[in-house]
């Protein structure tokens, strides 16, 4: 059973989990890196702390979560100088996400020079989306020059959860079509046909698609021009507004759906509208992906909201019996693996995601020649 250390480096945090086979033998979170009173002064100190507190003897690999793999990376990739240079070249595409992963990679390579390091990309699973699903109808020469297209994210989660759904249905992955709904702080939908992603809601960055805790999801791009030209906001302020002060927090002041649900329960109209906007957007994507896939075996909810909110699951899929979709209230309340009534053409599932386990498995796979 080989040991793999999975590192998920954010700009101010490092999440780690040590796997012996599929078992977790250590895990932790180092937060507020570089802030006063934080757990570490920088990523190097954070990793040093992990290495001092966790026994890393016999480590087979370090698996790094990297958000953006751009057009090149469609598989987990053994890291060398060339790969690092290519991930660096992708920073303009993912300025909010890739730099932290790069500093984690640099420090881990220095501190563990004899251990293979593997980059596992959030975008990779979506490399199978056909050209018509990733191409936007904009000036082709601009798109090509600046690598503008849909990439999609949360790939490790959609991959893991769609495979688990096939297991729940006791069907071969190759014959199973699933719409996966990853609803966490970030949120995205994915259409998975026989184990391969064929459509997803996030785009060039993790900003598009569903309504999220602090991100807007899909908007007409004219909103940006209008905020710049008419409202006079500089571009970086618009970016901050749409990535950090939009979504649920933009509509209600609360980015945590639990708070929004409580306020809605108490009759708060702001929270009620935000909830309706949130569920309506998911529903629109479910409808779109039913049409993309043609035949669907299951719709699967996952991540913080998807796994824990019966209210969101029920509201999102209400009234779709004529499409073969229904939610059983009791199964939904208990978050059973299958929450649709027996005998429905499309199963509705709740499957806990495990991105770190998927990263560990993919890292091991990348070591095979």
Tell the residue number behind the tokens 């991959």, with chain if given: 159
Task: Kindly write out the interface string for residues 181-200 of this chain, putting x where it contacts ligand ADP by CB under 6 A and - elsewhere.
Answer: ---xxx--------------
Q: Identify whether 268 is a catalytic site residue.
A: no
User: In the window 206-225, what residues touch ligand ADP (CB under 6 A)?
Assistant: 213
- Minimum CB separation of residue 349 from ligand ADP in Å reads 17
- Minimum CB separation of residue 156 from ligand ADP in Å reads 12
How far separated are the first and last CA of the chain, in Å rounded? Answer: 18
Options 75, 82, 122, 236, the catalytic residue: 122
Segment interacting with ligand ADP, rule: CB under 6 A, options 52-60, 139-147, 255-263, 320-328: 255-263
By C-beta, is 50 or 261 nearer to ligand ADP? Answer: 261
Q: Which single residue brings its beta carbon nearest to ligand ADP?
A: 304
70: left (phi over 0), alpha (psi -120 to 50) or beta: left
Segment interacting with ligand ADP, rule: CB under 6 A, options 18-26, 49-57, 111-119, 178-186: 178-186
Render the burial of 261-278: b for 16+ CB within 10 Å, e for the rest.
bebbeeeeeebbebbeeb
- Give CA–CA dist 74/349, Å, rounded: 28
By C-beta, is 203 or 213 nearer to ligand ADP? Answer: 213
Segment interacting with ligand ADP, rule: CB under 6 A, options 4-12, 87-95, 304-312, 327-335: 304-312
Cβ partners under 8 Å of residue 260, min gap 6:
248, 252, 254, 271, 274, 275, 278
Cβ partners under 8 Å of residue 275, min gap 6:
260, 261, 264, 312, 315
- Give CA–CA dist 110/228, Å, rounded: 44
According to DSSP, the residues that pair with 118 across neighbouring strands are: 63, 78
By C-beta, is 177 or 250 nearer to ligand ADP? Answer: 250
Cβ partners under 8 Å of residue 44, min gap 6:
103, 107, 111
Q: Could you tell me how many residues of this chain bind ligand ADP (CB under 6 A)?
A: 13
- Minimum CB separation of residue 214 from ligand ADP in Å reads 10
Task: Kindly write out the interface string for residues 306-325 of this chain, putting x where it contacts ligand ADP by CB under 6 A and - elsewhere.
Answer: --xx----------------
Binder of ligand ADP out of 30, 190, 192, 303 (CB under 6 A): 303
Strand order in the sheet with 3-9: 23-30, 14-20, 3-9, 59-66, 117-121, 77-78
Q: Does residue 31 touch ligand ADP according to CB under 6 A?
A: no
- Minimum CB separation of residue 184 from ligand ADP in Å reads 3
Segment interacting with ligand ADP, rule: CB under 6 A, options 45-53, 86-94, 299-307, 338-346: 299-307
Q: Does residue 268 touch ligand ADP according to CB under 6 A?
A: no
By C-beta, is 65 or 149 nearer to ligand ADP? Answer: 65
Segment interacting with ligand ADP, rule: CB under 6 A, options 12-20, 51-59, 235-243, 256-264: 256-264
**Could you tell me where the DSSP H helices lie in 13-130?**
43-53, 81-89, 98-111
122, 65 Cβ separation under 8 angstroms: yes
By C-beta, is 233 or 311 nearer to ligand ADP? Answer: 311
Rg (CA), the chain: 21
Q: Does residue 258 touch ligand ADP according to CB under 6 A?
A: yes
Task: Report helix, strand and coil shares of the chain as percent, to nearest 5.
Answer: 45, 20, 40
Residues recognised as catalytic: 122
By the criterion CB under 6 A, which residues form the site for ligand ADP?
Answer: 184-186, 213, 256-258, 261, 303-305, 308-309
């Amino acid at each position: 059973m080989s040991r793999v250390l999975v590192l998920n480096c954010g700009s101010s945090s490092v999440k780690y989990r040590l796997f012996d086979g599929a078992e977790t033998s250590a895990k932790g979170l180092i937060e507020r890196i570089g802030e006063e009173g934080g757990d570490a002064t920088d990523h190097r100190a954070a990793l040093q702390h992990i290495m001092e507190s966790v026994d890393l003897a016999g480590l087979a690999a370090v698996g790094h979560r990297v958000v953006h793999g751009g057009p090149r990376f469609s598989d987990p990739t053994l890291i060398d100088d060339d790969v690092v240079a290519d991930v660096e070249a992708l920073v303009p595409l993912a300025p909010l996400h890739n730099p932290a992963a790069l500093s984690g990679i640099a420090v881990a390579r220095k501190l563990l020079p004899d251990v293979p390091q593997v980059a596992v990309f959030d975008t990779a699973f979506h490399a199978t989306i056909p050209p018509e699903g990733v191409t936007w109808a904009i000036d082709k020469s601009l798109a090509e020059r600046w690598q503008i297209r849909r990439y999609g994210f949360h790939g490790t989660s959609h991959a893991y959860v769609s495979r688990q759904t096939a297991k729940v249905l006791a069907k071969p992955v190759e014959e199973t079509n699933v719409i996966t709904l990853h609803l966490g702080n970030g949120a995205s939908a994915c259409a998975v046909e026989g184990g391969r992603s064929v459509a997803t809601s996030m785009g060039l960055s993790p900003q598009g698609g569903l309504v999220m805790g602090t991100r807007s999801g899909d908007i007409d791009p004219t909103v940006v021009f209008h905020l710049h030209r008419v409202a006079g906001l500089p571009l970086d302020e618009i970016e901050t507004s749409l990535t950090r002060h939009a979504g649920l927090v933009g509509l209600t002041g609360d980015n945590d759906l639990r708070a929004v649900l409580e306020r809605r329960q108490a009759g708060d109209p702001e929270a009620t509208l935000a909830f309706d906007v949130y569920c309506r957007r998911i529903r629109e994507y479910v409808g779109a992906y039913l049409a993309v896939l043609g035949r669907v075996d299951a719709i699967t909810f996952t991540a913080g909201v998807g796994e824990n909110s019966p209210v969101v699951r029920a509201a999102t899929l209400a009234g779709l019996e004529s499409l073969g979709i229904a939610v059983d209230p009791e199964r939904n309340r208990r978050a059973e693996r299958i929450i649709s009534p027996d005998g429905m053409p499309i199963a509705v599932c709740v499957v806990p995601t495990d991105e770190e386990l998927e990263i560990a498995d993919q890292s091991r796979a990348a070591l095979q020649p």
